[in-house]
Every structure is written in C-alpha cells, then in structure tokens.
Amino acid sequence: MPLPAPIAQAFDRQAAACRDLGSPFNALLCETLRTHLSAESRFGRRVHDWSGQPVEDALALRVCGGLHALTRSGRCPTLAAAYPPAEPDTGRLREAVEAALDGHDDFLCDWLDSPPQTNEVSRSASILGGCLSVARATGLPLEVYEIGSSAGLNLGFDRWHYDLGIAEWGSKASGVRIVSRCEGRLPLDAPLTVVHREGCDRNPLDPRSAADRERLLSYIWPGQAERSARIAAALKMAAEAGWRVERTDAAEWVEDRFARPGTPGRTRVLVHTIVWQYLPTDTQRRIEAAIRAAGTAATARSPVAWLRIEPDGVQGSAGVRLTLWPDGETRLLGRADFHGRWHRWDLPS
C-alpha cells in the first residue's frame, strides 16, 4: 500500500532538499521509503497513519534519523552495509531497510516520538555576521539569548574559526573550523565581545551525555563526514564550556528574560536559526510581543536586538534579519544557505 499522498509528498520534498544540500544518499533513502515502506510493521504503520502534519513535523527526517541511529549503533550490520561509504543502490537499500524493520521495529517506531535536532554549527556564520553588525552599531558587549538551542552549539559562535573566503575570523587554535563562502561586506573589525550566553529548548540535548551526543550525530546525514566531525568537535567544546540550555517553553523563557531591565553598557540579543516555522502561532505571537516590549524600553546604553535566520519564502535560502532598538529599524542583512555553506551579505561599509 503506497504512502498517503500528503506523507508521500513530504518525503518527495525532503528528498529534493537533501539532494540540494549535498546528501544524495539521504535523498535516495527518502525516495526508497516513499515507494516501498509498507504498513506491515509498527514503524511503517505509524508513518502511514501519521496524525500530525508530515512537513511541519519533519516526519521524513525523523524516519531517516532513526535508521541512521540504528546504523551507527552497529546492531544491524545489513543496514550498515548499505550506508556510505558503500555506493548507493536502491535494491540493496530496500532490502537493508526491510532487515532493519524485521529486527528493530520497536526501536525505530519509538524513535519517531521526538522531532529532529540538527544544531547545524555552520549556521554560526550567520549569527557571527549578525552579531558583528550589532557590535558595530552599538559599540557594546553582547548578552546572547537563543531559542531552539538544542545542545547549545551555536551559543559558542564567537569561539569558532571561520574561513569566509573574503577573510578569516577567529582563533586558528579553535577546535571548530567553519568554511562558509561569503559575498559582500562584513564588519569583521567590529569589537565583538560576548559577556553572557544562554539558550532554551523544549527538548535540550546535553553535550556531556553520550546518548545525547549520539542522537544529535544521528541526524547528520550519512556520507557528510566533514559535517559530522565539525559537530563532534563543537559538542566537545560545548561540554567543556558548560553553556546553559534550559528545558522550557520558548515564549515563557523570552518573556522572562526580556521583561527584566537590561544591564547598562550591554546589548541583549535574541537569536534563532531555522526555528520559527516549528513554533505554534501563539508562541510566535508571544515572543514577538515580548521582544518588542523590551525594545520599547531600550536605550542607547541598554539596546535590544532581535536576530533571526529563518525561511522567508525565497527558495533555497534563509533571510538574515536584524531589528535593533531603541530605533527599532529592521534590516535584511543578507541571505544564508540553510546549512551555512554560503552567505550573501549586503551590509553598508
């Protein structure tokens, strides 16, 4: 029995995204599952009968993540043998998935309970560009507050080393190196200092936990060894740094943090990357109301900034937008690849 049309379309959409973002294997996996996943297993039945919204719930990525987690565990050699570095083969992959379902149906079914968490470290390049702009405009050190932080890896954006093509930024001694092809102008000489950082997530992952590290790495697409190594290095540094990611509702957290008066001589920055689309409408409304209320109370000595890197209807990229108070001006700083591979900046010199 074929997948219901909305679910099949979600797998098609994810296959196209994976291929565009450099994962031909995950694209093939999505296509194989779309065509051949039956409802005979608990796992397959749950996918066929998915009660939520398959695109908004990232159902295809949940499925792929579970299979990758099983592959990484070593508990299903047949499945592992069909994954990179093996050459992609549709027939072999189909048989491998069937073997996985025969032996590990409960594991794969239960994996679907939680949404994906990728915590893509290369998106730090977007945060860097935005925060450099804030630092140049205000001349003040920053307090950074991130929603949807997952394991908190992007909270360390100022500690990574960047090869931006147009220039390099950050310490070459950093264990995390990000290569992002950039066009346009960036205020790389701005006096960027982060004096406080914290984040929140509905289901935060602890970089000190072996199980949480493995879960995060399972969502890195197979065959992307450089990406996996970069996130593993960021996990190590985050574990050592101990950045705080609180388990809580994003709206409640923003309301709490930004209802407090700002510290004179510091800029408070609310940050989120590829998170907004997953938040309920009421949550979005409350966050926007809270940050705008804080902006109304902002002064030149205690500014407030809202930096968001989110899809905005332009195919293939996210907009990097900044609203900075007390003026309250919103600017489109540039555009970014969803995995941070490239950026196009349009910052004034």
pLDDT per residue as tens digits for the range 143-165: 999 999 999 999 999 999 999 99
Whether residue 227 lies inside any domain: the answer is yes
Q: What is the pLDDT of residue 347?
A: 58
Q: Are residues 93 and 133 in the same domain?
A: no
Whether residue 180 lies inside any domain: the answer is yes
Is the separation of the CB atoms in 320 and 336 below 8 Å?
Answer: yes
Whether residue 170 lies inside any domain: the answer is yes
Q: Are residues 266 and 335 in the same domain?
A: yes
Q: If you average pLDDT over every residue of the chain, what do you get?
A: 94
Q: Are residues 9 and 153 in the same domain?
A: no
348 — pLDDT class (breaks 50, 70, 90): low
Please name every residue paired with 304 in a beta bridge, in sequence order, or none if there are none: 268, 325
Whether residue 229 lies inside any domain: the answer is yes
Whether residue 116 lies inside any domain: the answer is no
Q: Are residues 262 and 338 in the same domain?
A: yes
Whether residue 204 lies inside any domain: the answer is yes
Q: What is the pLDDT of residue 45?
A: 96
The last residue of one of the domains, among 63, 89, 111, is 111
201 — pLDDT class (breaks 50, 70, 90): very high
More confident residue, 118 or 78: 78
Q: What is the pLDDT of residue 16?
A: 94
Q: Are residues 45 and 168 in the same domain?
A: no
Q: Are residues 92 and 169 in the same domain?
A: no
349 — pLDDT class (breaks 50, 70, 90): very low
Q: What is the pLDDT of residue 117?
A: 83
Q: Are residues 145 and 78 in the same domain?
A: no
More confident residue, 119 or 146: 146
The last residue of one of the domains, among 111, 146, 177, is 111
Q: Are residues 164 and 311 in the same domain?
A: yes
What is the Cα–Cα distance from 15 to 3, expressed in whole angstroms?
A: 15
Q: Are residues 87 and 207 in the same domain?
A: no
Q: Per residue in 255-313, pLDDT tens?
A: 999 999 999 999 999 999 999 988 999 999 999 999 999 999 999 999 999 999 999 99
Percentage with pLDDT > 70 across the chain = 99
Q: Which residue has the tokens 């700002």?
A: 262
Q: Are residues 145 and 82 in the same domain?
A: no
- What's the mean pLDDT in 6-33? 94
User: Is the pTM here over 0.85, yes or no?
Assistant: yes
CA distances for 157 relative to 26, 123, 211, 305, angstroms: 28, 9, 24, 17
* 12-21, 80-89, 302-311: which is most confident: 302-311
Q: What is the pLDDT of residue 115?
A: 86
Whether residue 224 lies inside any domain: the answer is yes
- What's the mean pLDDT in 116-139? 94
- What's the mean pLDDT in 162-180? 95
CA distances for 341 relative to 38, 123, 126, 183, 185, angstroms: 36, 8, 10, 12, 17
What single-letter amino acid sits at 57?
D
At residue 229, the 3 state secondary structure works out as helix
The last residue of one of the domains, among 48, 78, 111, is 111
Burial of 90 (0-12, 13-18, 19+ CB in 10 A): middle
pLDDT higher than 80, residue 15: yes
Indicate the number of domains in the chain.
Answer: 2
Residue 167's closest CA among 150, 181, 156?
A: 181
Q: Are residues 206 and 323 in the same domain?
A: yes
Q: Are residues 163 and 91 in the same domain?
A: no
Whether residue 78 lies inside any domain: the answer is yes
Query: Which residue range(s) make up the domain with 223?
Result: 121-345
pLDDT higher than 70, residue 1: no
